[in-house]
Amino acid sequence: MNFADTGNMASLAPLAVVLPILGAALTFVLIRHSRAQRAVSIGLLALTLLLECLLLASVWDGGTTAVTIGGWLPPWGIVLVVDQFSSLMLVVSTVVSLAVLVYATGQGMADGDQDAPLSVFHPTYLILVAGVSNAFLTGDLFNLYVGFEILLTASYVLMTLGGTGPRIRAGVTYVVVSVVSSVLFLIAIAMIYGATGTVTMADLAIKLAELDPGTQTLLHVMLLVAFGIKAAVFPLSFWLPDSYPTAPAPVTAVFAGLLTKVGVYAMVRTETLLFPGENLNTPLMVAALLTMVVGILGAIAQSDIKRLLSFTLVSHIGYMVFGLAMSSIAGLGAAMFYVAHHITIQTSLFLVTGLIERRGGSSSIDRLGGLAKLSPVLALLFFVPGMNLAGIPPFSGFLGKVGLMQAGVSLGTPLAIVLVVGGVVTSLLTLLAIARVWNRAFWRKPEDAEYPDPVLQRPGTVGMLPRTMVGSTAGLVLFGVALTVFAGPLFRVSDQAATEMLDRSSYIQAVLGDEAPVPPIPKTLPAEAVQDGGSK
């Protein structure tokens, strides 16, 4: 196969959505045969991952390719757009979902839950993956809404799996908040269609610029609010720590990794493609600062590891919004790298928490102790992503944060400097929160815990940590380390992607043809920010 021939490779892009849906259908048919179900879902997801790696390879050196669906040409039909950012997100998200799927399969096999309600897991999970892939690939605003709905509907089912009291309670909050954000998104789409007569994003990039500035701001704010709820940006983030921790460990892990990042991805597309320039950058920066600080202060107060991690998840969304709000090449590039890093690390931490819960009988740091002695492997698996999340050198979390800080300093506005300081403080407080978990759950003796769990008195880990679960977690932790090792090429790709996305001509012309006019960006960027972007 010829990698240089991007057109041919990219025409396989629809398969990234079709294969998981096909897998969902097959696993639904095989609902009584759990072994076949596992083989089909893992096999098809691995195939999807292979395909997405080919997609990423085809756009690795830049360029954007659009695939029209069903022969309907844009701006009338639906297009899928493969560029560096979307294919990078696809690969990272599928690596993470594959690891979580293997973990969940291991957990299912260990606990022997072969009965009816949980066999729904495989089809639902694959539909979730299809929705995420669709949201990353699509070049059509309404199709983005459909992608969101596919993944949200699947996530409602996963969130309330088993139908226990706490999960139903959390599920109600989650469903209502998600539906409200979807309605807001749909209202925004309706208004955009009413104002411009199109929902193809490339076409919108041209037509939105011709609108009255007031109308533009209205549509811009509507979209940002809708995506802000999904991405859990500060004033709209309170649903997340309330609803994530009660779900089963693998489900929380995949939600934490992927769902909020799809919201961030949609925000990036809105800010770069639809509404370029610096219109709402100041409010976005303030929101980013508050997200970081309020989120991490919440994390410090928690005693349940899952809740603590949910709060750090909210807090670190702030870094991505910060990078996005700078709308400079360096900032956007660092934000993209940070998204890839954070998907991997946050998911691994939640998977490890699932293991901690199995070994220690609880996920509350008041009940845990001595895990470093009981299971050194578990301690290592927690320590590496934990330090990575806190941004300790040389891990990818450090590199991503340094990239953001550099971009902030080179932007040089007072607000950007405040955000840089806020980012450093948040990083330190994250270290504090992680160290608290480490000191209590791993370092102290089990007897010193406030209410030690009786299971801590049993020596060793025999039969408590299935090999598949530990193996998949270790694989994901290693993938996180690999992001550190290959940070150089990744930063090069994300900076290049940021350059192309801020320029927009590559995207618009890939969808609408080479003659399509590219409207100028309303207000030009500060010259030094553009210059600094290239030299990393």
Partner 1 sequence: MSVNLTLLIVMGVLYACGIYLILERSLTRVLLGLMLLANATNLLILATGGYAGLAPLFDQDIPSEDYNDPLPQALILTSIVISFAVTAFMLGIIYRTWTLGRQDEIQDDVEDRRVARTPSFDAEDDADVPMETSEFPLTAVASPGTAAESDGETVTAGAKELSADTAALEESPGSRNVSRNINLEGGER
Q: Which is nearer to partner 1, 170 or 434 (CB)?
A: 170
Contact residue for partner 1 among 11, 215, 303, 468 (CB under 8 A): 303
For residue 74, whether the previous peptide bond is cis, meaning omega lies within 30 degrees of 0, is no
Contact residue for partner 1 among 47, 53, 191, 286 (CB under 8 A): 191
Contact residue for partner 1 among 28, 60, 193, 383 (CB under 8 A): 193
Is position 302 an interface residue for partner 1 (rule: CB under 8 A)?
yes
Please count the residues of the chain. Answer: 536
Residue 65 backbone phi and psi in degrees, to 5: -125, 140
**60: enclosing H helix or E strand:** none
Q: Which is nearer to partner 1, 157 or 464 (CB)?
A: 157
140: helix, strand or coil:
strand
Beta carbons of 198 and 75 less than 8 angstroms apart: yes
Is position 481 an interface residue for partner 1 (rule: CB under 8 A)?
no
Alpha helices in 232-304 (DSSP H): 239-243, 249-254, 260-269, 281-301
Q: How far is the CB of 115 from partner 1 (least distance, A)?
A: 18
DSSP character string of 190-230 = HHHHHHHS--BHHHHHHHGGGS-HHHHHHHHHHHHHHHHHH
In SS3 terms, 241-259 reads as HHHHHHCCHHHHHHHHHHH
Contact residue for partner 1 among 373, 425, 517, 528 (CB under 8 A): 373
Contact residue for partner 1 among 29, 50, 73, 172 (CB under 8 A): 172
Contact residue for partner 1 among 5, 111, 210, 448 (CB under 8 A): 448
Is position 109 an interface residue for partner 1 (rule: CB under 8 A)?
no
Q: How far is the CB of 369 from partner 1 (least distance, A)?
A: 8
Is position 495 an interface residue for partner 1 (rule: CB under 8 A)?
no
Q: Which is nearer to partner 1, 245 or 360 (CB)?
A: 245
Show the tokens assigned to 532: 């600094």
Q: How many residues bind partner 1 (CB under 8 A)?
A: 49
Distance CA 170, CA 172 (A): 5
Contact residue for partner 1 among 28, 60, 383, 443 (CB under 8 A): 443
428 contact partners, CB below 8 Å, separation of at least 6? none
Interface residues for partner 1 in 206-245 (CB under 8 A)? 241-242, 245
Q: Which is nearer to partner 1, 105 or 182 (CB)?
A: 182
Q: Which is nearer to partner 1, 307 or 342 (CB)?
A: 307
Beta carbons of 144 and 263 less than 8 angstroms apart: no
**332: enclosing H helix or E strand:** helix 329-360
65 contact partners, CB below 8 Å, separation of at least 6? 6, 7, 9, 10, 13, 58, 59, 81, 82, 83, 510
Q: How far is the CB of 289 from partner 1 (least distance, A)?
A: 24
Contact residue for partner 1 among 372, 402, 431, 518 (CB under 8 A): 372
| Binding region for partner 1 (CB under 8 A) | 142, 146, 149, 153, 156-157, 160, 163, 165-166, 168-173, 175-176, 179-180, 182-183, 186-187, 189-191, 193-194, 199, 241-242, 245, 301-304, 307, 369-370, 372-373, 436, 439-440, 443-445, 448
